[in-house]
Amino acid sequence: MGCINDAYNRPINYLRVSVTDRCNFRCLYCMPPGGVQLIPHEDVLRYEEIELIVRAAASLGLSKVRLTGGEPLVRLGIANLVHDIAKVPGIDDLALTTNGVLLTAKARDLARAGLRRVNVSLDTLRPERFYRVTRGGELAKVLAGIEAARAAGLTPVKINTVVVRGLNDDEVADIARTTIERDWHVRFIELMPLGRSSDWAHDGYVSTEEIKARVETLGPLTPAGGAPPAGNGPARYYRLPGATGTVGFISPVSEHFCFQCNRLRLTADGKLRPCLLRADEVDLRAALRDGAGVAEVAELIARAVRLKPEGHGLAKHEPPAGRTMSQIGG
């Protein structure tokens, strides 16, 4: 069946599912040192509830699911959820975004359960800086996790790098060079003024234009050509001379891509958000715990689709509303 369209005739076929708001990092631009106030365990969606929501979404034509957090791999039994979602009729792409620390132990089980791909968040290649930015993380574990994902067939592995002035902008060329040396698919992401990152948004923001100029110190970028790396995001992909990997750019601030937004976001406590940067939410958890089945949940998902705004409001300098990125799931 075809996917459901919103009020602006955008096809909505992609659901991002936050399975937890907990994270084993405390990244400087994302969280305060003590983290954020956590959702009580009883308010977090159970796996069977998430699976029912995915079935309801699939009944409307949504076919792509990405699991996020917090850090999704800190939740026990995550491979069981992957297995259940992978079996839902109509779901043809199932991916996960992670900081990579736990991938070495879990990549093979995730692949066997039916996960297709992973995106790994990685903002620096310098061990000391990584420790400082993440407040205690070990870069070597992330690099080992990336290789474990590749070995397990969770490919292409995409590397997500948020560029922040004064934090890691001096590493743009070094990170881009990995697309030649390591066959990585790197996506540089503009910093968004959301939640904790608002503290960095004025002085920390680096535009895609500037990021691209830094990458081009390595050589001219040419469009990647052919099919882009598998996925559902708004990145535009290029290659450096001699590279087998790709360099992508995601520009939510300077070149907003709302006109092609195809996604909904489910928070760990069961709220469905039509837009990352708007506070509108549809409560699915309450309906589920009141006995709602697939048909009733599908009606609520359709309501969220109708609520999708035309744009996120950043171009009009409207302040982002609601939760932090770690509480939404990205």
Please write the tens of the pLDDT for every residue from 30-47.
Answer: 777 776 789 999 999 999
Collapsing DSSP to helix, strand or coil, 49 comes out as helix
Q: Which domains does the chain have, with CATH numbers?
A: 11-328 (3.20.20.70)
> How high is the pLDDT of residue 193?
72
Long-range pairs, 231-234, Cβ under 8 A, ≥24: 231/95, 231/117, 231/119, 231/158, 232/13, 232/14, 232/64, 232/66, 232/93, 232/262, 232/263, 233/187, 234/260, 234/261
Bridge partners (DSSP) of residue 272 are 266, 282
Lowest mean pLDDT among 115-129, 230-244, 294-308: 230-244
Residue written as token pair 């171009």: 315
Cβ atoms < 10 Å from Cβ of 205: 18
Separation of alpha carbons 275 and 219, rounded Å: 36
Nearest to 123 by CA among 103, 105, 104, 142: 142
In the predicted structure, residue 315 carries a pLDDT above the cut 70: no
Average pLDDT, the chain: 91
* Tokens encoding 42: 């009883």
Q: Cα dihedral sign for 213, 246, 131, 134? A: positive
pLDDT band at 255 (very low <50, low <70, confident <90, very high): confident
Amino acid at site 147:
E
Please write the tens of the pLDDT for every residue from 193-223.
Answer: 765 444 554 578 999 999 999 999 999 999 9
Cis peptide before 229 (omega within 30 of 0): no
Please write the tens of the pLDDT for every residue from 147-202.
Answer: 999 999 999 999 999 999 999 999 999 999 999 999 899 999 999 876 544 455 45
**CA 5 from centroid of its chain's CA atoms:** 22
253 within 8 A of 267, measured Cβ to Cβ = no
